[in-house]
Structure 1
Amino acid sequence: MPDIPSSLTDSNQLVAHLFRHEAGRIASVLTCMLGFDRLDLAEDIVQDTMVKALQSWRFQGIPDNPSAWLYRVAKNNALDVVRRETRLRQISPEVEYLHQQEATEIMGNVYFFDDEITDSQLRMLFAICHPAIGIESQMAMCLKILCGLSVREIAGAFLTTDETIAKRIYRAKEKIRQEEIRLEVPMGQQLAPRLDSILKSIYLLFNEGYNSSHPDQLIRQDMCQEAMRLGLLLTQTPQTQQPAVDALLALMCFQSARFNARTDDAGGIILLADQDRSRWNQDLIRRGHLYLNRSAEGPAPGEYHLEAGIAMQHCIASSYETTDWPTILLYYDMLMMRKPSPVVALHRAVGVANVKGPVMAIDEVVTLSGLDSMHHYHAILGDLYEQNGQPEPARTHYQRAIQLTTSIAEKALIERKLSRLQAD
């Protein structure tokens, strides 16, 4: 069970926090009980459990162990469903046996120990990432069901619309139901393609936490912690102990190490160049080095190795000025060969500006397509024009970035940049 922050004394906030941490695991366990073809029913039970928590805790107070309360209510709801079924064999042989024995407590013990929850969620991840389902639909399903992201958050991660994501999830569920895809951890040659989808889902979950689309929260550490927990889960299973898993964990460790220095006491953004590096978490940086070194035991470096290498260069630099930008640019060049995309090219432009100057970076960024609706695109272009002594185009792009972002902290940062331009 996750540690519950002492600051979450409001029942609404606590339920939202626990939903993020527990909903996927509870849904995984319920699906094992009810059968994978009843994934929608498992999700409905989880939702109903959260609604009951909101109603009960608001008037009766928060229980001593909120997580255990959720699991108990979800289990009882599932048992009620089982008891109402007239044809138990269509649900699951395991549930039928337990029901016939009237072993309510046994069911609770079998399915709700932490080890079994972990195993259930792993099976769910691999079952959802079935090769019969498109990879983008696999990832959307993982993020929605097991990671607790909203359709809007997933749409932002994929740079698409809410409607597109909703359709992907619906079609994937229909395919799973019609083809009766079962929960199982694949072996041998079936493992690699599924693991790739799972890692991409974890990567997107972490990114949403690291640069949250939520208006009031720049960093959502609960998302980042959940992503890291899932990554650790993969390292603890022999079938999924792969270099790419270690590389992704290294990346998340390096990025998480800077959390405490990314915002001020009022929640304002502190840019990398201005961060107090003594506040960086050295233990996480050491862990990042450990995982990155372990990942090097595999074949040629993949995208997570390269992104972790970039993050490591920032972590080992004693100051922004001493950052090894040529090495970072080299990693970005290699990343573009492995993962060519406008987003990677946009971030690479920061390295280009620091190595070759802002003019060359601007020339590269303005040729990128498909990013005009991203506030990061305009914010970076504004920075580059400002560095190049061109206040007018810088102001134009800063203003466009403000229009596009929903983050209060991002708006405040860009407004400070605009004020600086006016003062100059």
Structure 2
Amino acid sequence: MKKKNSIDHTLNHLFRQESGKMVSVLIKIFGTENIEMAEDVVQDALVKALETWKYRGMPDNPRAWLYRTAKNKAIDIIRRNKHSRVIDFSDPQKQLLTSGYTLTTTMNNYWQEEHIKDDFLGMMYACCHPDISQENQITFILKSLCGFSTKEVAKSFLTSEDTISKRLYRTKEFFRKHKIKPKIPASEQISLRTHTVLSAIYLMFNEGYNSTHNDQLIRKDLISQAMSLCKSLLSVKRTQLPEVYALMALMCFHTARINSRLTEKGELILITKQDRSKWDKEFINSGQKYLNKAAFGEGLTTYHLEAAIAYEHCNAKEYKDTDWNKILEYYKLLLKIGNDPIVFLNQCLVILELKGPKEALIALKNVENNTMLKKYYVYHATLGEIQQRLGNNTKAIEHYQKAVQLTQSKPEKQFLKDKIAHILN
């Protein structure tokens, strides 16, 4: 039983870490019109591993075994289809796959480590094509590059497997119709296209850090995958951009705090009451290193400033030691980059800590007519906190109740209900 559990654990880990890379290489070989073919080869390799390792034991290098099995299956497919139109062999390098003399050497070249990295990143950029909706981008990345099952993706978005299957189908049809070639963009496009990729990664991370579509507030699997994707960008010189380092720093600082955010019962703990001894110093140190590496180039991005804010929270030994003045300055700079109402709301929370509820309420009046914020539970939770501190308990309860209606997270609903109960008692 222990042997079987060990094999299952190893395969699950490999599937998460390596399936996306294998799929990317195979798509490079078969073309984006044959994405299902690439995914089937990887799935077959994993099934063969499960069957073989169960009887013969795990190989010394499980990753190399999987890659070799996938490569051999790809060779079989090429041989069967070299005279058909299933695979487009018009590319000069692919033409070498049709000859028995050059097939093996050419196939081996596709599976070299530096090519695997490039193909994986190329597929990330392809998934984040500007004409693909962000919802479909994340869905496709989770399924094809992160090894999530359709069921797991559906659970992440709180939707049906049928809906996820339709999103995947539409994305694959887009690739097929437009014959998208996965590749790292040229230098003049790299910054703009990387911004889109980082947006998708950060969206995935935020869904893991503060899940809106799941009973669990924290999804460590999504956090891990988002950080892994960002590290992939940092593994290749062309994509080692300041904003990539800055986002990595930001995610490290946030991840450092996840073990202190919930009680054993899964109840939410605000930063004011978190046990800071549980904060992961290794992640904080890593965040500092990434933030230092982000300090090149001429641009100051939102990731730089958000990482700086997160660092200030991590750097304070106690909540009372937080440098709110410095954080307020960072929020002012963020608002200069873009007039984001969510950023403004967060700035109001800083004003609440720094100057008190009256000043915070005055600041919030600047966005009281924003229809988007009125649908955001944090807006009403913030108003509830302000009114409570002002002693206006009836108004506070009204806002807390509105926030309960707007959030889908069970831990957040319970937290807000506890706030109401505290006022009533």
TM-score by length of 2: 0.78
Q: Structure 1 residues 200 and 116 mapped into 2: Cα distance closer, same or farther (>3 Å)?
A: same
The yes-or-no answer on 1:408 pairing with 2:410 is yes
Equivalent residues of 2:271, 2:319 under 8 A apart: yes
Q: Helix, strand or coil: the match of 1:268?
A: coil
Provide, for residues 272-316 of structure 1, a one-character-per-residue CA deviation record: whole Å limited to 9, x for no partner: 011111221222212212221221222141111111111011011
Q: Which amino acid aligns with 1:31?
A: I
In the alignment of these two chains, the number of paired residues is: 408
Q: Distance in 2 between matches of 1:178 and 1:194?
A: 21
For 1:188 and 1:368, locate their aligned partners in 2 and report how far apart those are by CA, in whole Å. 39
Aligned to 2:84: 87
What amino acid is aligned across from residue 424 of structure 2 in structure 1? Q
1:292 partner amino acid: L
Check if 1:150 corresponds to 2:179: no
Could you tell me how far apart the structure 2 residues matched to 1:105 and 1:72 are? 12
Percent of aligned positions that are identical: 38
Cα 1:191–1:389 change in 2 (3 A) is same
Is the Cα contact below 8 Å between 1:383 and 1:394 reproduced in 2? Answer: yes
- Residue of structure 2 equivalent to 1:356: 355
In the alignment, the residues of structure 2 paired with residue 265 and residue 39 of structure 1 have an alpha-carbon distance, to the nearest angstrom, of 42
Cα offsets for 1:305-334 (capped at 9, x unmatched): 111111011011121122111221221122
Distance 1:79 1:388, change over 3 A: farther
In the aligned structure 2, how far is the partner of 1:343 from the partner of 1:106? 54
Offset at residue 139 of structure 1 (A):
4.3
Greater Cα radius of gyration, structure 1 or 2: 2
Letter in 2 for 1:87: S
CA separation of 1:143/1:154 partners in 2, compared to 1, >3 Å: closer, same or farther?
farther
Whether contact under 8 Å (1:374, 1:404) holds in the other structure is: yes
Secondary structure at the counterpart of residue 314 of structure 2? helix
Bigger drift between 274-283 and 37-46 goes to 37-46
Deviation at 1:169, TM superposition (A): 6.6
- In the aligned structure 2, how far is the partner of 1:136 from the partner of 1:266? 33
Partner residue in 2 for 1:266:
265
- Which residue in the other structure is 2:296 paired with? 297
Deviation of the 1:383 alpha carbon = 2.5
Per the alignment, in what secondary structure is the counterpart of residue 243 of structure 2? helix
Residue of 400, 417, 420 corresponding to 1:418: 420
Aligned pair in 2 of structure 1 residues 72, 334: CA closer, same or farther (>3 Å)?
A: same
8 Å CA contact 2:208–2:222 kept in 1: the answer is yes
SS of residue in 1 equivalent to 2:320: coil
1:23-47 Cα deviation digits (max 9, x unpaired):
4333312212211232354356667
Give the superposed CA RMSD.
4.1
* Superposed displacement of residue 373, structure 1: 3.8
Task: Give the TM-score taking structure 1 as reference length.
Answer: 0.78
Aligned 8 A contact 1:209 1:222 in 2: yes
- Paired with 2:208 and 2:253, the residues of 1 have a C-alpha distance of 14
1:10-409 correspondence to structure 2 within 5 Å:
21-43=17-39, 64=58, 81-82=77-78, 84-85=80-81, 86-87=83-84, 90-92=87-89, 97-98=96-97, 101=100, 116-130=115-129, 133=131, 136=134, 139-140=137-138, 141-142=140-141, 145-147=144-146, 148=148, 150=153, 153=156, 173-358=172-357, 359-364=361-366, 366-409=368-411
Moved more, 336-345 or 78-87: 78-87
Hey, what's the Cα distance between the residues in 2 that align with 1:197 and 1:32?
22
Give the Cα–Cα distance (whole angstroms) in 2 for the partners of residues 405 and 422 of structure 1: 22
Unaligned runs of 5+ in 2: none
Deviations 1:125-147 (A, max 9, x none): 2334446x367478445466434
Distance in 2 of aligned mates of 1:16 and 1:379: 40
